Chain A
Amino acid sequence: MLRFDFLEARNLRHAISLLERHGDESRVVAGSTDFLARWRQGFWRPAAVVNLKGIANLGRISYSPQNGLRLGALATVQSIESNAQVRRRYQALATGATSFAGVQVRNLATIGGNVCNASPAGDTLPALLAFDAQCTIAGPEGSRTLPLTELFLGPGRTALKQGEVLTQLTLPAPLPRTGSLYIKHSPRGAMDIATVGVASVVTLEEDGRTCRDARIALGAVGPTPFRATDAENLLKGQELTAGLLAQAAEAAEAAATPIDDVRGTAGYRKAMVEALTRRTLQYSLQMASGRAMPFEEQRRLAVQTAF
């Protein structure tokens, strides 16, 4: 039978020293939702786990116009989904969180865990990328920041070095006239892993028509979630007509490099990238144009099943 030791980190410094000492033999746990499932499958077999969940003040969520949204790494996915500022200003993150498993898992799973597990299909990751999240990382050498785009190296692989812990994600405050949405496509809804996930963020100029900024991030169609920058560049500075959104959706499809698996073929996934990019851009544009969309309506759009 597989076994492991349980090491309780009393504070961040203690966590770092435990991780330095136990190195590759250990794994960090917080919500432990991914960990226990994958340990039972025999996929992860650490000699010890270092539990971060008891570290005080690492799960705070705060927003200010100056600092943007600060998500402590231990903030649960449910606390992000139900946060009023997230729902109001970062709709793609709220819809990413609501598409994430069932409430019982969302109440455990942490945003830091979803990021550090670096699944190509992680449901919060496209929205975090599309909102330009910055990581704050604590380690033996002190603290450093890293754009989230540079954290992901491959499936399950991050730029974290031995002894380093992700402590916070910071998302700049969206400009006025910004709208966003994440749509997850999966065979069995929120409880299943995404076949494709797309987050779009659109900001309009004061004229209410010209695109000031557009950011699009794709999940489950490459070794890591990533930004579709070619598609974004087609939109910036342009008037967002239906034809232009369709062109951007095709550019996003061209950027996707998915694999065949049980949830869909590569060709199917690429076609879904085109459809979901177009849809998320359309809804984001509507919201950026001033049409408020209640969270209940966003939630109905957030998960689109195959059957």
Chain B
Amino acid sequence: MNKQPLTMTVNGHERQILVAPYYSLLDTLRDELQLTGTKKGCDEGDCGACTVILNGKAVTSCLVLAMSARGAEVTTVEGLATPDALHPVQQAFIERGGLQCGYCTPGLIMAAVGLLEENPQPSAEEVKFAIGGNLCRCTGYTKVVEAILLAADRMASLG
């Protein structure tokens, strides 16, 4: 099972790497590209900690075969902030206290970013459905939902 060449765009940069054919996108991001912001929780699609944006859609990267992401555009939590500012979702999580231990946070933030790309002004219920695939054992989710709604309001007013 020799490694195979793979080209994909990660956080705006084209990356050419060699990956084993059975590697997940999650393991590729963490082990080959050292992008360890994306977390491994359950490794079976139940916890959402590994959520990234793949070609515009929030996905559990543990369930994506890296080789099937050939030519894809991937955004991880490391790709959200600019040198000057955090992404509005990140900033809102800090201000509303939408995290405690932090392990689920990159996945929740990416799920929120995926939601707001498709539905910029969601209701609280729509936010809850959108993060239904993200497990958090600390916060109780209330402040997470508040943070995502705050980010939506700010992004809407920025246009």
Contact = CB atoms under 8 A, between A and B. Distances in A.
A32 interface: yes
B65 A49 contact: yes
Contacts of B115: 103
Contacts of A239: none
Given A5-B21, A36-B24, A51 B65 contact: yes
A190 B134 CA distance: 12
Interface in A15-37: 29, 31-33, 36-37
Interface string B19-32: 01110100000000
Interface of B is mostly: mixed
Given A40-B43, A53-B68, A189 B132 contact: yes
Interface residues of B, number: 33
A96 B24 CA distance: 28
A268 interface: no
A299 B22 CA distance: 36
B46 A191 contact: yes
B1 A102 contact: no
Interface in B27-69: 43-46, 48, 51, 54, 57-60, 62-65, 67-68
Pick the most buried of A37, A51, A107, A189: most chain B CB atoms within 10 A of its CB.
Answer: A107
B120 interface: no
B45 A51 contact: no
Contacts of B1: 3-5
Nearest to B125: A296
Contacts of B59: 104-105, 107-108
Contacts of B20: 3
B157 interface: no
Contacts of B125: 296
A54 interface: yes
A32 B63 contact: yes
A191 B65 contact: no
Contacts of A299: 129
Contact of A103 (B22, B44, B132): B132
Given A3-B20, A29-B65, 5 more contacts: A37-B63, A102-B45, A104-B111, A108-B60, A191-B132
Interface of B: 1, 4, 20-22, 24, 43-46, 48, 51, 54, 57-60, 62-65, 67-68, 70, 111, 114-115, 125, 129-130, 132-134
| Nearest 3 pairs of A and B residues by beta carbon | A102-B133, A6-B21, A107-B57
22 contacts: A3-B20, A4-B1, A5-B1, A6-B4, A6-B21, A6-B22, A6-B67, A32-B68, A36-B62, A36-B64, A36-B65, A51-B65, A53-B68, A102-B60, A103-B129, A104-B48, A104-B51, A104-B133, A105-B133, A108-B60, A191-B132, A191-B133
